[in-house]
Amino acid sequence: TRNEPRFRIGVSQCSDDEWRHQMNNEMLREALFYDGVEVDIRTVKDDNVRQIEDIRNFIEEGVDLLVVAPNEAAPITPVVEEAYDRGIPVIVFDRKILSDKYTAYIGADNYEIGKAIGRYVVNMLQGQGNVVEISGLTGSTPAMDRHQGFVSAISPYPGIKLLASEDAGWLRSEAGQKMDTLLAHFPQIDVVYAQNDRMAAGAYAVARQKGRAGEMRFIGTDALSGEGYGVEQVLKGELDATFIYPTGGDRVIQMAMDILNKRGFPRETILSTSVVDATNAQIMQMQTTHIATLDGKIETLNGKMNHYLDRYATQQVVLYGSLLV
C-alpha cells in the first residue's frame, strides 16, 4: 500500500547548519515525487565518532541505499567501505572519502572553486597584496581542495602573499578567534579568504570590533539566500564576493532512485558554481525568493493531495463496510 516504503534511504550528514538544512529540505521535497520512498536523515555536529555510529546503524538496519557527506575523509572512509562491501549502494556527496569504494559521487569541484576565488583575488588586488585564509576543517576534502585551488591561482603572482592559513573547522566563532590572532600578527591584511560565508561573518565581526574591517575585503563561499546568509552579506557590503556551493539535494534523490531502480547513472556528477558579487547579488536574491515561493506551493499541493487520498481511502472503507451489512 501507499504507506509501506519500498525503499529506505539513509542520509548521514556531518554537520548541522543552514547549508545542510537547505539540502535536507531539497531531499525531502524531491522524495515526495516518488512512491514508497522513505528518507531518514541523521545529523552529527562535526563529530567523526558519532557519524561512524550513524552509518553503522544504517548498515545494521539494512537501508537500501546510503547517502553520506563525510565529516573528515580519513576517519570516515573505513565505515563507508564497509557499507559498500556489504552490497549497500553508497552516494557520497559534497565531501569525499579516500577510497573508490562508493557507487556515485555528487558535488561541486572544490579545487575549481578555490581556483576561481584565487583568480578573483588576483584581479581585485591587481597582482599585489596580502591575503589570509580561514580554512574549513582541514581533514575534510573541500577544505583541502579549496586551499590547493586557491594556491594554484595565486602562486604565479609573487606580489600576492598568502600570509597564513588557519583552520576554523567551518565554524563562525572559531573563525572569529582565528581572525583575532591574525589581526594581532599582521598589521596589513588586504583580503580575508574564508572558505565559507559563516566563517567570513565571524572574521568580519571581529575585524569590525577591532576597527579594522574597513582596511580589508572579505570573500566567502556558499552564497546561501535568506536573512543573514551569503547573498545578503554581499548586499550589505560585508562580503566582496562569495561563490555558489550548490546544495543539490534534489539531484541526490534523483540519483538514488536511478540506482535503486537499476537505471543508468553517472559515477561522478559535478555541480556547477558561480561567483556572486555586487553585480549580481540583487538578481540572485530575487530569483531565490521566487523559487522559495514555488517550493512552498509544491509542498502545499502535496499536503492537499495526501489529504484527498486519505479521504478517498476512508470513503472506500466506509463503502465496503456498508456493502457487508
Binding site for ligand FRU (CB under 6 A): 15, 17, 19-20, 94-95, 136, 140, 142, 170, 196, 198, 221-222, 245
Instruction: Find the shortest distance in angstroms from Cβ 318 to ligand FRU.
Output: 49
Nearest position to ligand FRU, beta carbon:
196
Which SS3 state, helix, strand or coil, does residue 104 take?
A: strand
User: In terms of CB distance, is 15 or 51 closer to ligand FRU?
Assistant: 15
Residue reference for cell 537547505: 22
Taking the complex as a whole, how short is the minimal distance between the CB of residue 67 and ligand FRU, in angstroms? 14
58 or 170, CB closer to ligand FRU?
Answer: 170
Q: How far apart are the C-alpha atoms of 3 and 6, rounded to whole Å?
A: 9
Q: Which is nearer to ligand FRU, 89 or 246 (CB)?
A: 246
DSSP helix, strand, coil percent of the chain (3-state; round to 5):
50, 20, 30
131 DSSP assignment: E
Q: How far is the CB of 274 from ligand FRU (least distance, A)?
A: 15
Shortest distance in whole angstroms from residue 185 CB to ligand FRU: 25
Query: Any bridge partners for residue 192, and if so which?
Result: 132, 218
Rank residues 116 and 160 by Cβ distance to ligand FRU and give the closer one.
116
Least separation in angstroms between CB 227 and ligand FRU: 17
Spatial CA neighbour of 102 closest among 217, 259, 237, 279: 259
Closer residue to ligand FRU, CB minimum distance, 77 or 157: 77
Burial 230-261 (b: 16+ CB within 10 A, else e): bbbbbeeebbbbbbbbbbbbbbbbbbbbebbe
